Amino acid sequence: MEPDVIRTLSNLSLFLQVVAFLMLLYAIKLKTESMEKHARGAALAVFTIVPTILFMFYSIGQGFQLASYGFVLMLHRFLGFIVIIFIILFVTNRWRFKKKVHMHIATGLWTLTLALGIFVYLVSFGYIA
C-alpha cells in the first residue's frame, strides 16, 4: 500500500480507537441507569473498533515492526489479543464468570493497550524518535 494510504488508515484507526474508548467510558457511566443501556453502549464501542482491528491484522501480515521499540509493540499486541478475547466473551455473553472484577480488568487492559497503541503510532510516524 502507498504510504499516504497507510497514514490515512492509521489516523482513522487511532481516531476510531479513541472514540470507542470514550464510548466505553460513557457505557460505564450508564451502568448506574440501566444494565441494558450499559451493555448496548459497551457493545457499540466494541463494534466501533472492529475496522481498526482488521487494519492492525493487515499491518501484522505486512510485517510491521518497530526497530527501536519492538518490546512496546509486542506488549501492545499481546495485551490487545487478551482484550479481544475478553471482548468476545463479554459481548457474546459466553463467559459464565462474567463479573464486575473481570470487566474492571478488561477496562484496565484496554486502557493500557490504547496508551501503548498511541505510543506505537507516535513512534511509527516519527513524532517520537
pLDDT in tens, 41-70: 988 999 999 999 999 888 888 888 888 888
**Distance of alpha carbon 62 from alpha carbon 52, whole angstroms:** 15
Longest Cα–Cα distance of the chain, Å, equals 47
User: Residues 93, 98, 100, 101: is their CA dihedral positive or negative?
Assistant: negative
Q: Residues 9-20: what's their mean pLDDT?
A: 94
User: How many angstroms separate the CA atoms of 55 and 66, rounded?
Assistant: 17
| Domain map (residue ranges) of the chain | 3-125
Structure pTM? 0.87
- pLDDT bucket at 3, cuts 50 / 70 / 90: confident
Residue-wise pLDDT tens digits, 72-105 = 999 999 999 999 998 888 888 766 777 888 889 9
**Tens-digit pLDDT profile for residues 117-127:** 999 999 988 88
